[in-house]
Each structure stands twice: as C-alpha cells, then as structure tokens.
A and B are shown apart, each in its own frame.
Chain A
Amino acid sequence: MNNTLGLPVRRSRKLSLTALIDVVFILLMFFMITSSFSQWRSLDLTTQAAATAAAPSEPAPVLILQDSGDLLMVKGELRLRDTTSADRLGPDLLNALGSEATVTLVAEPEVTIDRIIALIARLNRQGISNVSLGDALPEPLPDDVWVP
C-alpha cells in the first residue's frame, strides 16, 4: 500500500449520512423558526414640520370618522354625513371631495387603528392618495350632529 515516496496512501473515509442529516436538520430548524412570510405595508405619518411646510392656501377638507362608522366631512361651509359604512364611500362624499389634493382625517377618541387604516386604504383606492392623519378629537361628537 505504500507509494514511491513511502507515504501511506490516505483512503477517503465514507462520510456518515447521520452526521450530515444532523447538521441539515439544525439548519432547517433555524430557518423554519427565524423566517417570516408576512408582508408588511407602511403608511407615512406626516410629522408636524412637514405638515406646516406644505400648508395649502385654502384649508384641506376634514373627514371625521365616528365610532358608529359614519363619516362626516367639513369643507369650507359644506357639511356632509356619509352613512355608507360598508367597504366603500358614498357617492355624495366622493363628489364633494372631488380631486382634492390633501384630506385631513380625524377620528373620535375610541375609534381603533384598524378602522382608521382601513378608511385610509379605501380613500387611496378611490384616488385620494394624500391623506394626513390629524389628532383624535378630545371627546366623541354628540349623536345628533349634522343628522340630515
């Protein structure tokens, strides 16, 4: 078994599959536990400095999201209540908003983030892409405000 140099020939030992699969299992566990498949989306909240810098000459229409799901709009002298609380906005409201560049959204204090985000996404789908989130109202509005 000696070659001409007198060194022993190294015979490659057969790799044990058990050791291999051990390592592969550990790698598999690592990637299974650390990897996530959730897709995130984000919404930019305007900071105060940016909001004042981009202040328009005429005040943007304000939307008020009520805990009941109704949506109130204030635009100059115009007051509008939208009770289409389903997955879409009422046509009157959309007409009144028109192609406004910016809309300020204000919510009653007990409205959850879930519903605010859903409304912003709905507005975005209707082409109103520039929605800025204003501070929540300090108290809920009285029930009979602007009921037609």
Chain B
Amino acid sequence: MMEQQSALMATRSHQTDDDNMIPLINIVFLLLIFFMVAGQIKAMPDATLELPESALQQQPVANPLRLEMLADGSLLLNSQSVALENLAAALGSLDYETNTSLSLFVDRRVTAMQLTELLQPLRQLELGRVQLMTNSSEAGQS
C-alpha cells in the first residue's frame, strides 16, 4: 500500500514539472508566431543612418543595388565602404545589367549639396531608376 502511494506521488510530481512549463511554452509560441507573421525580414541600412520621415505614398520595390550615405558623408555601396571618387568604378565592378535600379538611403542630416555631389556621378551611369528611401511617418494614422 505504501509502495503504491509513493509511486503515485512520484509520477504526480514528475507531471507537474511539465505542467508548469506548458503556459510558458504557450506564451513563447504566441510571441514566436507574432514575430514571424508581423515582422518583415529585410536588409537594413547602417545602424547609424537615420532615414528622413515623410508622408509620401509610394511603396518602394526591392532593388539590387543599395547605396547609403551616412550623416558624415561616407558612402556604403551594398554595405561596402566606398569613396565618392571610386563610386563609378565600384558600381562598374558589380556587374549589373543596364537599367538596374538603385535604392538610395540618405541620412536625414545630409545637406542638399552633399546629395547633389552624390547624384552627379550616378547620372553618368545607365541606371534604371534611383529610389530615395524614407521612413513612413504615417504610423498610427489611417
């Protein structure tokens, strides 16, 4: 009788260990599903780069080329550091087709003059289109 009781107790306590974990797993599964469904996995620009806010409507498309200009004026082409003078050569060595489009991530503190100096060499190349990326400021609005 005593043996039976102790055996019963043992299985009970073993079960309650797992039972305590089930709500935890529930929550973790819910979080996992939330991040899988709601989040998007996309290549982000450099962490120091702050995109300008805008209320523009146009949705960007995924472009094969990514050019970033940080607040200090340094350039990153597909996450590789590049100097402004070498930009055309670096783009040429990437072996893209003509009419390839380019996403331009420019820090909000960059001045018009810096942007003009960046756009002038880009105009010499046969790029399809240049998309200037901005953050949507419509969060919370309909």
Contacts and interface: CB of A to CB of B under 8 A. Distances in A.
Interface stretch (A3-11, A26-34, A76-84, A90-98): A26-34
Contact of A28 (B35, B104, B122, B138): B35
B90 to A, nearest CB: 18
Describe B's contact surface by its main secondary structure.
mixed
A44 interface: yes
Contacts, number: 154
A116 interface: yes
A118 B111 CA distance: 14
B116 interface: yes
- Chain A interface extent, by class: 35 or more
A125 B115 contact: no
Interface string A130-148: 0000011000000000000
Nearest to B50: A114
Contact of A42 (B21, B24, B58, B112): B58
A42 B60 contact: yes
Q: Which of B38, B113, B131 has the most CB of A within 10 A?
A: B113
Q: Which 3 A-B pairs have the closest CB atoms?
A: A35-B39, A42-B60, A136-B112
Interface of A: 17-18, 20-21, 24-25, 27-28, 31-32, 34-45, 47-50, 107-114, 116-118, 120-121, 124-125, 135-136
